[in-house]
Amino acid sequence: MKEEYHKKWNTVFSADEYAYGEGPNEYLKEQLKNITPGKLLFAAEGEGRNAVYAATLGWNVSAFDISEQGKEKALKLAKANNVALDYSVGELPSLNYAKESFDAIALIYAHFLPELKAEYHKELCNLLKKGGLVILEAFSKNHLKYRAANPKVGGPQNIDFLFSIEEIKSDFMNFEIIELVEKEIALNEGLYHNGIGSVIRFVGRKK
């Protein structure tokens, strides 16, 4: 499935238009305005819209994804905004980020393969400094009915890719929960996130 997933995202990101737009996710934007910039890692960052936005705020930004096409477009967007990104392509365990080296980690629609999800979340926790923040927005397990009603809202069609509050509590056990909610929101992000969907939102501080 890894090879198929890799091919899928290279295909999605090969179009001229940015799949999820060029502007940042609204939840991320709302959270970053309250935080002093430091070192921030974006997981499964795709075409770079969120990483570039954070860099314009003064964050020292690293990002990774499995898609070479995603990186290419992210660096193009960074150049257009006169900012720099440290962007790596590959699977997380092979990227050799230093333990406890980030002040914050952003997981914005970072729907990892089901067999990797818990392992990746654990590894990302290890990369975060004590007192550092995780900021997450992703589709909930209840999102499938929204997608069935309106495919344009996007998101995985396999429930195992999706999130529950219980799963977040389990994967981020050693965190003070600042916010953890499941809610219905209206999305308007590029070509593939348009309409009403169900998401999990989580902000947690590493103990």
Report mean pLDDT in 10-residue bins for the chain, 207 residues. Answer: 84 93 98 96 98 98 97 98 97 96 98 96 98 98 98 97 98 97 98 97 98
Looking at residue 3, its pLDDT comes to 84
Looking at residue 4, its pLDDT comes to 84
* Cα–Cα nearest to 57, from 18, 101, 104, 13: 104
Q: Where are the alpha helices (DSSP H) in 128-181?
A: 143-149, 165-171
Burial class (CB in 10 A: 0-12, 13-18, 19+), 186: exposed
Looking at residue 131, its pLDDT comes to 98
* Cα–Cα nearest to 85, from 116, 118, 42: 42
Task: Find the CATH number of the domain harbouring 32.
Answer: 3.40.50.150
Q: What is the pLDDT of residues 135-154, one digit of tens each?
A: 999 999 999 999 999 999 99
Cα–Cα distance for residue pair 48/159, rounded to 1 Å: 26
Q: Is there a contact between 206 and 130 (Cβ–Cβ < 8 Å)?
A: yes
The domain tally of the chain equals 1
* Cα–Cα nearest to 70, from 38, 105, 95, 45: 45
> What are the CA-CA distances from residue 107 to residues 17, 23, 150 (Å)?
22, 16, 24
Cα–Cα distance for residue pair 7/41, rounded to 1 Å: 24
Whole-prediction pTM value?
0.97
State the Rg of the chain over Cα: 16
What range does the domain containing 27 cover? 2-206
